[in-house]
Structure 1
Amino acid sequence: MPAPNRALITAAAADLLRTLQDRHGALMFHQSGGCCDGSSPMCYPDGDFVVGDRDVLLAVFDVGDGVPVWISGPQFDAWKHTQLVIDVVPGRGGGFSLEAPEGKRFLSRGRAFTDEENRALAGETVVTGAAYERGERPVSSGTHVVAEGVDACPMPLR
């Protein structure tokens, strides 16, 4: 079994990301570790958020020219068994994420990897900020775009 992508994005979130790329140029995500914004995917112009040497690159979304998705090393250690799914919902999130003026906010959903997926991922080396600077990139298993969040991450019924 090929290793699954560590991060996915819904089609609606990818559409918003394309709009933001048209307006702001190259973009990046950093999965916030908490504090004022809770645990939110923050979208910045590429390079506006300084990626640390120990931050982990989860994926480069195949949206536009590519959008890297980062998470701090300690947070990755807690989430490494979880696939991150970035979705978009109505409302304003906190902080400085670029979608805030659009009346929408990016939202992280998560799905625990199966035992088989975890075994496949165990054989892969994660790409850190330092490795990225040396030119390393994560392995991709096809597109990162899913139609809806429920396609990758089952959601409870209301």
Structure 2
Amino acid sequence: MNPTTAPRIVATSEAVELLRRLGGTHGALMMHQSGGCCDGSAPMCYPDGEFIVGDRDVLLGVLDLRLRVGETPSTRPEGGDAVPVWISGSQFEVWKHTQLVLDVVPGRGSGFGLESPMGVRFLSRSRAFTAAEISALPETIDGRAWEQGQRPALPAQPQVVGQAADACPVPPLVSGTV
């Protein structure tokens, strides 16, 4: 992977901490970026293998729960340290130009994820890739390729950010605008 390649998925430190807690209770995890129903397009967390990944689902990346803010992995995460994050193929077509930022916020969503009873929910934020980032993105891995053993390269940029604004900064308000 090109060292300038931005990962398709990053997570806030709070989201990673919640995943660690959920993993401690439920074992290995996976996430799926919902495409409708229930909680709109919310990311939901499941025990690994509980959500059936289809052949056309697209892997956004594998979150490495060993990492802290700003770190990049030197080895591939395994077992409970690896959280694959999936999105449906049709929804990926709409979002393929964006980096998904996994965050957590207070409040109970109406989804089926493991986080629902904890009084928090995962939230997707995103930022558009630059033209240079888009041209450097690796080919995607779909559910079929995953089943055949294909895995993504290790991310060359940090995958954990302190806050969502670190990955997708909010532009300052211009005086006189709403």
Higher helix share goes to which structure?
A: 1
- The count of residues paired between Structure 1 and Structure 2 equals 156
SS of the aligned residue for 1:35 comes to coil
| 2:20 aligned with 1:4 | no
| Residue equivalent to 1:141 | 156
List alignment gaps of at least 5 residues for structure 2: 67-80, 174-178
* 1:155 maps to which of 170, 174, 178: 170
Instruction: Give the fraction of aligned pairs with identical amino acids, expressed as a percent.
Output: 61
Determine the C-alpha separation between the residues in 1 that align with 2:31 and 2:157: 19
| 2:117 aligned with 1:115 | no
| Residue equivalent to 1:130 | 144
Q: Is the 8 A contact 2:127 2:168 kept in 1?
A: yes
Scaled by the length of structure 1, the TM-score of the pair is 0.94
2:7 maps to a residue whose letter is N
1:147 maps to a residue whose letter is G
Runs of 4+ in 1 over 4 A off after TM superposition: none
Q: Which has the larger radius of gyration?
A: 2
Name whichever of 137-146 and 69-78 sits farther off: 137-146
| 2:65 aligned with 1:63 | yes
SS of the aligned residue for 2:38 comes to helix
Q: What is the aligned-residue RMSD (CA, Å)?
A: 1.4
Scaled by the length of structure 2, the TM-score of the pair is 0.84
Q: Is the 8 A contact 2:6 2:157 kept in 1?
A: no
| Residue equivalent to 2:27 | 25
Deviations along 1:54-89, one digit per CA (max 9) or x if unpaired, are: 100011001152100000111111110000000000
Deviations along 1:79-109, one digit per CA (max 9) or x if unpaired, are: 1000000000000011211111111110000
1:6 maps to a residue whose letter is R
| 2:81 aligned with 1:79 | no
List alignment gaps of at least 5 residues for structure 1: none
